[in-house]
Structure 1
Amino acid sequence: MFRFILRRLASGVVLVVAISVVAFTLLYAGGGDIARRILGQNATQEIVDRKATELGLDRPLFDQYGDWLIHAIQGDFGRSWFTGQLVSVSVSSRLAVTLSIVIGAILVTAIVATVLGTVAAVKGGWVDRVVQVGSVIGFAIPGFLVALGLVLVFAIELGWFKATGYIPLTTSVTGWLSAVTLPIIALSLGAMATVAQQVRGSVSDALSRDYVRTLRSRGLGMTRVVGKHVLRNAGGPALAVLAVQFVGLLGGAVIVEKVFNIPGLGQLAVQATSASDIPSVMGLVIVTAVIVVVVNLLIDLTQAALNPKVRFA
């Protein structure tokens, strides 16, 4: 098990480094253009060249990346070119906001999708058809339309939740729940549809296996067979899809945070990208990559616990 974890960690580190190389190359390749974007089109070429020298953009790209990597390993991603704030501070201050929404959405997705997919596979008939149609509808409706609809109905019309803004959990538990409930629902519906379909397929396949008929012939109830044996064997594929959906939820958070005016990583990403604040963009890219690697590691460990054969893959 220890060697399995080491292999996964090593592949994760390689992935983060590869992402940093690609992102750095794409963002920093045009040094003169970067300085021009910062200063504006009215700046003279002399001032632009001076700014590029000040930022180190006139140095070879390999040297720039080497300096950035050394500082990044120490947790220093530089300062924003526009606010002067440390990138590590601006990212960390918003990380908890986004994670509270994304983790909440992935938990809701996992629970609801598992229940719906399992019920559809076990019951079949009209229940199965209803779940499948609902999954298609949930997958087809864009997330921002769901978010807008939730705001109009549950925040503006009924007044049950906050329409915009964010209240930290440490400030008020009820206020935090009021702020994150609608974003979590809006973010999880599309993922829920995909995972429910995967769970349904995996459970249906597991139910057709010989060991299920053997257990049933020994007098075990369907609920016990499904809960103790079927879900354990069907969990691997569903967890893999759930890991993919987590990455999608991180991307979807950009739109949801914009709709609900939540100060998370998504809002920071929009601001940094539109302003060509490359140090902030690089910080966001690396933090997101690390989160994805950690989530995939946790999923791999869970799959290894469910199926020991995974440890030798």
Structure 2
Amino acid sequence: MILYVVRRLAAGLVLAVLVTVITYLLLSLSFDDVTRTLVGSDATPAQLAAQKAAMGLDRPLVAQYLDWLSHAVRGDFGASYFTSEPVRTAITARLGVTLSIVVVALLLTCVFSIMLGVTAAARGGVVDRIAQGASMVGYLIPNLLIAIALVYVLAIKLHVFPATGYTPFAENPGRWAASIAIPVVALMMGGIASLTAQIRGAMIGELRKDYVRTLRTRGIPTRSIVLRHALRNAAGPALTVLSLEFIQMLGGALIIEQVFALPGFGQYAFNASLQGDVPIIMGIGLFGVLLVVIVNLVVDLVNGWLNPKARMVS
């Protein structure tokens, strides 16, 4: 198991390097535009050259990237071209806002999807049709439309939750929960749709297997068969979908944070992309890849714990 973890972490680091290399190559195409934005559109060629030299953008591209990588390994991601704010400080401060939304949405998605998927597979009939209908709605309606509808009903009409803004958990837990309630629900809808469908299909397949019939003939209660045996065996594919949902929710947070004016990772990335702020974009890309690698590793470890066969294959 330790060897497996080390191997996966090594592969994740290689992936992170590849992503940052490609990102830096693409960003290099806009170095001239960023420099002109900093010094002004009426700057002379000499002023542009001086600004590029001051930022180190006049050196060979390989040397620039290796210099950034050597600092990044030590935890120094540079500073914003436009605000001079250290990238690491800015990202870590905003990452907490995004993760508070995404992690809560992911946990609730997991809980509701298990409830709906297991119930639909075990009982069938009307319950199954309702679960499939709910999944279809989640598939068809984009998160943005759900967010706008929730703001109109719950914030503007009923005044149950605030329409915009964010309150840190340490400042006021109640207000924190209220400030992320609508964004969390908006992120959950699509996740519940896909994960419920996955769990339902996997559970139906497990409940039709011979070992389930054998357990029933031995008088083991249906609840125990469903929750302790069938659900455990069906968890592998569902966990894979859950890891993909985490990635999708991170992407969805970019839009959701714009709608709700949340000072999170997504909004920060969006603004940095518009400006072409290279240090911020590089830092965000690296943090994003590392988050995905860690989540996938955790999912694989949980899957191996639930299903020893998966651990043996790994």
Shorter-chain TM-score: which interval? Answer: over 0.9
2:100 matched to 1:100? yes
CA distance in 2, matches of 1:130, 1:216: 27
Mapped contact 1:120–1:127 kept (Cα < 8 A): yes
Partner residue in 2 for 1:231: 231
Establish whether residue 80 from structure 1 lines up as the match of residue 80 from structure 2. yes
Q: Is the 8 A contact 1:98 1:264 kept in 2?
A: yes
- Counterpart residue number, 2:300: 300
Alignment of 1:248 with 2:248, yes or no, is yes
Q: Could you tell which deviates more after superposition, 179-188 or 36-45? A: 36-45
Is this contact kept in 2: 1:78–1:279, CA < 8 A? yes
- C-alpha displacement at 1:128, in angstroms? 1.3
Is the Cα–Cα contact under 8 Å of residues 31 and 58 in structure 1 kept in the other structure?
Answer: no
**Secondary structure in 2 matching 1:19:** helix
**Residue 162 of structure 1 aligns with which residue?**
162
Aligned-partner SS, 1:79: coil
Which residue of structure 1 lines up, in the alignment, with residue 141 of structure 2? 141
Which residue is 1:132 aligned to? 132
Does the 8 Å CA contact 2:34/2:275 hold for their aligned counterparts? no
Amino acid at match of 1:212: V
Tell me the equivalent position of 1:202.
Answer: 202
Q: How far apart in 1 are the matches of 2:15 and 2:253?
A: 22
Whole-angstrom distance in 2 between the partners of 1:133 and 1:38? 52
Per-residue deviation at 1:29? 4.0
The Cα shift of 1:116 comes to 0.6
| Residue aligning to 1:52 | 52
How far has the Cα of 1:30 moved from its partner? Answer: 4.5
Give SS of 1:256's match.
Answer: helix
Moved more, 87-96 or 45-54: 45-54
Structure 1 counterpart of 2:219? 219
User: Is contact 1:32–1:57 with CA below 8 Å preserved after alignment?
Assistant: no
Deviation by residue 1:146-166 (Cα, 9 ceiling, x = unmatched): 111111111121111111101
Partner Cα distance (2:176, 2:44) in 1: 49
Q: What is residue 310 of structure 1 aligned with on the other side? A: 310
CA distance in 1, matches of 2:206, 2:21: 43
Q: CA deviation at 1:42?
A: 2.3
CA contact (8 A) 2:30 2:276 kept: no
- 1:169 deviates by 0.6
- Secondary structure of the residue aligned to 2:171 is coil
Q: Deviations over 1:111-165 (max 9, x none)?
A: 1011111111111122212211211111111111111111111112111111110
- Quote the RMSD (CA, aligned, Å): 1.1
The offset of 1:41, in angstroms, is 2.8
Aligned partner of 1:243: which letter?
A: S
Name the stretch that deviates more: 205-214 or 130-139.
130-139
Identify which range, 64-73 or 25-34, moves more after superposition: 25-34
1:223 deviation in Å? 0.9
SS at match of 1:91: helix
For 1:43 and 1:140, the matched residues in 2 are separated by 50
The answer to which of 35-44 and 157-166 deviates more is 35-44
1:40 is displaced (CA, Å) by 3.7
CA distance in 2, matches of 1:264, 1:247: 16
The percentage of aligned residue pairs carrying the same residue is: 44
TM-aligned CA deviation for residue 28 of structure 1? 2.0
Write the letter of the residue equivalent to 2:279: P
1:173 partnered with 2:164: no
Distance 1:243 1:38 in 2: 40
> CA separation in 2, counterparts of 1:202 and 1:295?
22
Q: CA deviation at 1:36?
A: 2.3
**CA distance in 1: counterparts of 2:70 and 2:28, whole angstroms:** 17
CA contact (8 A) 2:102 2:184 kept: yes
**Mean Cα displacement is larger for which, 241-250 or 266-275?**
266-275
**Structure 1 unaligned regions, length at least 5:** none
Q: 2: CA distance between counterparts of 1:270 and 1:22?
A: 19
Q: How many pairs are equivalent? A: 313
- The gaps in structure 2 that reach 5 residues or longer are none
Distance 1:296 1:290 in 2: 10
- What's the CA shift for 1:239? 0.1
Q: Which amino acid aligns with 1:305?
A: W
Matched with 2:63 is: 63
Post-superposition shift, 1:262? 0.6
**Counterpart in the other structure of 2:15:** 15
- Give a deviation string over 1:172-200, Cα, whole Å, max 9, x none: 11111110111100111111101100001
Equivalents in 2 of 1:61, 1:69: separation in Å? 12
